[in-house]
Structure 1
Amino acid sequence: MKVHPYLNFDGRAEEAFNFYKSVFGGEFLAYIKMSEVPEGDKLSKKEQNLTMHISLPIGKDTVLMASDLLPSAGQVLQPGSQTYLMLTTESRQEADSLFNGLSKGGSVEMAMDDMFWGDYFGSFIDKFGIRWMISFNEEQSV
């Protein structure tokens, strides 16, 4: 399993990651705008330009990841909501086990499910207020 920090921004993810790239170097592993997601064309022009996902390697085994929050979905940046711990697992079973164990007594944001970008993914806030994302990708685990 690998652990990666996942950050949320209020419309500044691209700006922040260009800055981080200038410090750490390297290239983005992924950069997806909200306009590129299913039904992204239904968002306002401003929201279509927001970052759905961006990732930058910052060390041998560490990838810094982020998204912009989506106001039309009711997402608001609050203290503590800008950071998640992202666990990348080696199997669906490990993903389910960690998700079910860590989310017990907490609040599920997205149940584990197959996502359009290819990952088996879920997110939640544990009973202590810590935000987690669990992800498994068959192709990347081989």
Structure 2
Amino acid sequence: MSIMDPSPQDTPAMDQDGAPVAAVWRGFGAAGVFASALVHLVLWFQGYRDIDVVGPLFLLNAVGGIVLTAAIIVWRHRLPLLGGIGFGLLTLTAYLLSATVGFFGVLSPFEFAGTAEVVAAMADVTAVVGSAMALRRERGPS
């Protein structure tokens, strides 16, 4: 083995087809963040913008999610992946609070299983799992 050969830590984990596994997980994380951000942007345009506190938070979620999506895809560092995990967990937590005990005055238990809510919740879970798995794969074996 020469000094020019990559170490096992420098070589990305590959699946059977030769595609880097971490990149696939990174893509899932980015897709989850983007889908959640998109749902929040659509809901903001559909009237959530008129709700005190929650309206601006929906817009912030949408813009932040779009920026974070780009960071996850472009910046090969662990920070965007940690951001994807945090984004998904915080967004899902805020949703669950609004559907159960209320969140900044918004209590929507009857909308708990609407299409937008289900899509956003699935996207948030995808963001967390995809980002966490990419982070795990990029760190290598423990």
> Which has the larger strand fraction?
1
Normalising by structure 2, we get a TM-score of 0.26
Normalising by structure 1, we get a TM-score of 0.26
Q: Which of the pair has more CA radius of gyration?
A: 2
